[in-house]
Chains A and B, each alone.
Chain A
Amino acid sequence: NAGVTQTPKFQVLKTGQSMTLQCAQDMNHEYMSWYRQDPGMGLRLIHYSVGAGITDQGEVPNGYNVSRSTTEDFPLRLLSAAPSQTSVYFCASTSLGGVQSEQYFGPGTRLTVT
């Protein structure tokens, strides 16, 4: 299994540009989520999904959209990039039927908005 994969690893955007961060998992996990990680702060939840066709907002959803057309993929779209969105983004997945709490994280995408 490849686990959770994310692309790209690094991205630089100009203010106002849009882009999509890709996330895929091959573990047939129902639950997928996007977090951002900023210096001195814990991971903050942006959006999450409990299955194909179902998404919901997390703690910091403004400026981001998600969709879940398949179990495997959960892309994150930045509609109009702002410097405040400079961060490291992590995608994670877990099984809702699991007996423990483990989330599997991808390697992250480092985004800089100038």
Chain B
Amino acid sequence: QVQLVESGGGVVQPGRSLRLSCAASGFTFSSYGIHWVRQAPGKGLEWVAVIWNDGVNKYYADSVKGRFTISRDNSRNTAHLQMNSLRVDDTAMYFCARDPEVHDSSGTRFDSWGQGTLVTVSS
């Protein structure tokens, strides 16, 4: 069955870095775009970043642009989110989600999600 498993979260001081991973199984990983979505405690969902199937196209929310980098390794069925210069307001549960039509403005959607990994930025 489709599985997305996030890891790499933890407690980190402001200004430091963290690298999240998203391990996929149960589907053809290279056929899907991968998004990262975050949710601050008690708040709503916020889209963070996306990488297309082939890893060439990447897009970021303004709130993380220049600090976060999304990547993927299709040979290992894994995606990553490198988070630098972390701020207190980056504290959130981070989910990865797959997108079967990431290139299609009408078809793009988050059709399967992982369980999330918690990132806490605190001094």
B and A form one assembly: no
What is the interface of chain A, defined by CB distance below 8 A to chain B? Answer: none
